[in-house]
Amino acid sequence: MDNKKITIDDIARDLGISKTTVSRAISGKGRIGTATREKVLSYISEKNYRPSAIAKGLAQSKTYNLAFAMPSDSKFIDLPFFQRCMWGICAEGSKADYDVLLCIVDENDISGLKRLADNHKVDGVILGRTYENGLAEKYLFSEGIPFVTIGTSAAADAVQIDNDHVEACRELTGRLLDEGLRRLAVIGGRTEHIVNKSRLTGFTKAHTERGLKTDNAIMYMGSSDKDSVEKALAKVLEQNVDCIVCTDDSVCNTVINRLLSLKLEIPKDMRVASFYNSTTLENFRPTITSLEFDAVGAGMLSCSTLLNLIDGVNVSKKTLLGYNILMRDSTRK
Amino acid sequence: MDNKKITIDDIARDLGISKTTVSRAISGKGRIGTATREKVLSYISEKNYRPSAIAKGLAQSKTYNLAFAMPSDSKFIDLPFFQRCMWGICAEGSKADYDVLLCIVDENDISGLKRLADNHKVDGVILGRTYENGLAEKYLFSEGIPFVTIGTSAAADAVQIDNDHVEACRELTGRLLDEGLRRLAVIGGRTEHIVNKSRLTGFTKAHTERGLKTDNAIMYMGSSDKDSVEKALAKVLEQNVDCIVCTDDSVCNTVINRLLSLKLEIPKDMRVASFYNSTTLENFRPTITSLEFDAVGAGMLSCSTLLNLIDGVNVSKKTLLGYNILMRDSTRK
DNA sequence: CTGAAAGCGCTTACAG
DNA sequence: CTGAAAGCGCTTACAG
């Protein structure tokens, strides 16, 4: 339609008032006559005028942008968790007229995040995953850029939103033990990912509380890809094991399919549980015992927290989110 | 470290030159003495100065931002395809110093996209999925905003990047038919998603070419959720069918698990193929016959194409990308 | 209640 | 090769 972008100057001229007044009518800040405001408002809605967020930002030294840092392995692995977080962040951010800029980060490579931050393109950052080495956190602190982590951070003073993985894993493991499953194997991802460390902590805790010991011979962390998971599974199957606990749905998926191809029936021949749910597991028969978290909610909360942080509102350093335990057929004794 | 953000003015003052000169040293545009340039460059690298992309953008009437519109069902369903596209877009965009802003869109709700565009926050848009009604395309055309679609668009004059779904599905279906599988059922998603329409077209084409007829009694499109897929499957199983073709991995996943829980073996009792691959299907045993596309590549190409479009470079209206056919155990006769 | 003016941090003709 | 000045499209003290 109208190709020319109309500016605040055009409006001021057309209406015979100053752009100060136009600005006030739009922002609602400062005193302004009702009649004048109405006039401006009806004019802009008629002309379909929308102020430039960029210009507004420059004038206010803000960007109205957030960065969401996604782990780079989303290139290869399906990680619906982060997609859902993103969803929550976008939804929550847009309420405050904030938009979200994407970047890909890695345990050892935060160049994507740096670009965004160094170019002054964001007011704050949400870290989608936390690592043992806390590279991103160090950088953001040194630059004085507000940020929130989804997941427990290695940087103690970082503002963190986390699903309570320790508690959740402790409780699920406890339930399995209490149902009489004694020899629990665990196959899981790299403990450089803090979330995996927490899961392991919960797993161990449940044993300790019951005066039981975990057995390192049936615990295989650091299995990030399919091959290493299958190798770990082979080792596990050589031993006396009641149930295999997988730290996430991806590992669990590999384990299940491998068991099936070995003609092992679940739960008759082997029991399986997962510390993270997914639609894939959800479709599976028998149904898989697992933990359920609210990724969208975590995204929303991380966003609203970050916005508070940016605005200088006081926020709590660490918030733990709830979980559901889904006891299902795959762990039936 | 240094909390105060340093600006081009500070540099000019410190170095006793004009900011015009500083700007030229940084951008590389315009004539400038080697000595002067060196002086500026070494100063900014020492002080770790990075110009504000926002201010630069305002001055040039550009944003150096792209929008990537993701389908809203990513809230519920795992859609690794879009995550991978995103990956490609980010990687490609950053080469040209472009960043990507996210928005969630729907078949009937493009308000998220509108916010971004109306606020003048992006130079162009990449549409992650195309719909029959072409709502987003109409809006973008009317606003004169450059855009590229991933997937065939209902708007004929839109610039489109697509995996060649018609050809891919035609070829895979043909192979199944040529191997002697005659009664092919199809269970698939809503044809309001153009990609599903294309898949169906390829499926039908393969039959026609061989003088065969498809049978509507074993074709169930419009099965978007698990329930409807399972219902469709029940109907299919009542009939004489050699193989079930699923339009995507999510449908296929549901079908497989349902078959297993009915104690039907693949491929002995029923054969299965999928028109879209995924890591979930990849893990499955028996291995699943399917199509394989390069989502990261599609993302990269859509981005470079959009950047050309923005720069006024000539681009081809429609680009079709290749595919791989993975003939595997799940369709063995 | 309203406006003139300076400013946000850059770029870019234009002139020298 | 270099600089003064205007401009990108807004906001915000300050004054009236």
A57, pLDDT greater than 70: yes
Would A65-163+295-321 and A165-293+325-331 be classified into the same CATH topology? Answer: yes
What pLDDT sits at residue A82?
93
Structure tokens at A208: 């300790």
CA of A299 to C1' of C11 (A): 38
Residue A286: is the preceding peptide bond cis (ω within 30°)? yes
What pLDDT sits at residue B1?
42
Q: Which helix (H) or strand (E) holds B35?
A: helix B34-47
Chain B residues whose beta carbon lies within 8 Å of the beta carbon of residue A286: 261
A153-178 pLDDT, tens per residue?
A: 999 999 999 999 999 999 999 999 99
Where residue A2 falls among pLDDT bands split at 50, 70, 90? very low
Which positions in strand C are less than 7 Å from the protein's CB atoms?
1-5, 7-13
Mean pLDDT of B25-42: 90
For A174-221, the DSSP string reads HHHHHTT---EEEE---TTBHHHHHHHHHHHHHHHHTT----GGGEE-
Cα A204–A207–A211 angle (5° rounding)?
135
CA distance A312 to A315: 9
B108-141 pLDDT, tens per residue?
A: 999 999 999 999 999 999 999 999 999 999 999 9
Q: Compare CB distances from A254 to B82, B115, B283 and report the shortest one's residue.
A: B283
CA distance A193 to A195: 5
pTM over 0.85: yes
**Which residue from A121, A62, A241 is spatially nearest to B56, judged by alpha carbons?**
A121
Alpha helices in chain A (DSSP H): 8-15, 19-27, 34-47, 53-60, 80-95, 111-118, 135-143, 165-178, 194-209, 226-237, 249-261, 279-283, 295-310
The CATH classification number of A65-163+295-321 equals 3.40.50.2300
CATH C-level class of B65-163+295-322: alpha beta
CB pair distance less than 8 Å for B83 and A84: no
Tokens 């993701």 sit at which residue? Answer: B70
- Sign of the Cα torsion A304, A301, A295, A108 reads positive
Chain B residues whose beta carbon lies within 8 Å of the beta carbon of residue A91: 104
CB pair distance less than 8 Å for A254 and B120: no
Mean pLDDT of B93-117: 96
B31, pLDDT greater than 90: no
Chain A residues whose beta carbon lies within 8 Å of the beta carbon of residue B55: 58
Name the more confident of B12 and B77: B12
Decide: CB of A36 under 7 A of nucleic strand C.
Answer: yes
What pLDDT sits at residue B5?
82
What pLDDT sits at residue A1?
42
What pLDDT sits at residue A333?
82
Q: What percent of chain B has pLDDT over 90?
A: 88
What pLDDT sits at residue A268?
95
What single DSSP character describes residue B318? E
What pLDDT sits at residue A75?
78
Ordered by start, the domain boundaries in chain B are 8-51, 65-163+295-322, 165-293+325-331
CB pair distance less than 8 Å for B53 and A121: yes
Chain A residues whose beta carbon lies within 8 Å of the beta carbon of residue B54: 54, 57-58, 63, 120-121
Q: What is the mean pLDDT of chain A?
A: 94
Mean pLDDT of A84-110: 96
B57-70 pLDDT, tens per residue?
A: 999 999 999 999 99
Mean pLDDT of A65-86: 90
If you measure CA to C1', which residue is closest to nucleotide D5? B20
Mean pLDDT of B248-270: 92
Architecture of the domain whose range is A165-293+325-331:
3-Layer(aba) Sandwich (3.40)
Please provide the distance, in angstroms rounded to a whole number, between the alpha carbons at the two ends of chain A: 68
CA distance A165 to A152: 9
- Sign of the Cα torsion A174, A175, A176, A177 reads positive
What pLDDT sits at residue A281?
87
CB pair distance less than 8 Å for B279 and A77: yes
CB pair distance less than 8 Å for A99 and B84: no
CB pair distance less than 8 Å for B257 and A87: no
A179, pLDDT greater than 70: yes
What pLDDT sits at residue B4?
66
B202-237 pLDDT, tens per residue?
A: 999 999 999 999 999 999 999 988 899 999 999 999
CA distance A131 to A137: 9
Chain A: closest CA distance from residue B207 (Å): 31
A50, pLDDT greater than 80: yes
Q: How many angstroms separate the Cα of B224 from the Cα of each of A84, A274, B254?
A: 19, 26, 11
Which positions in strand D are less than 7 Å from the protein's CB atoms?
1-5, 7-13
Phi, then psi, of A316 in degrees rounded to 5: -80, 145
Q: How many CB pairs under 8 A join A and B?
A: 152
Q: What percent of chain B has pLDDT over 70?
A: 99
Structure tokens at B250: 């999510």
Mean pLDDT of B276-301: 92
Least confident of B2-6, B187-191, B207-211, B318-322: B2-6
Chain A: closest CA distance from residue B63 (Å): 8
- Cβ–Cβ under 8 Å, residues B195 and B129: yes
Fold entry, domain B8-51: 434 Repressor (Amino-terminal Domain) (1.10.260)
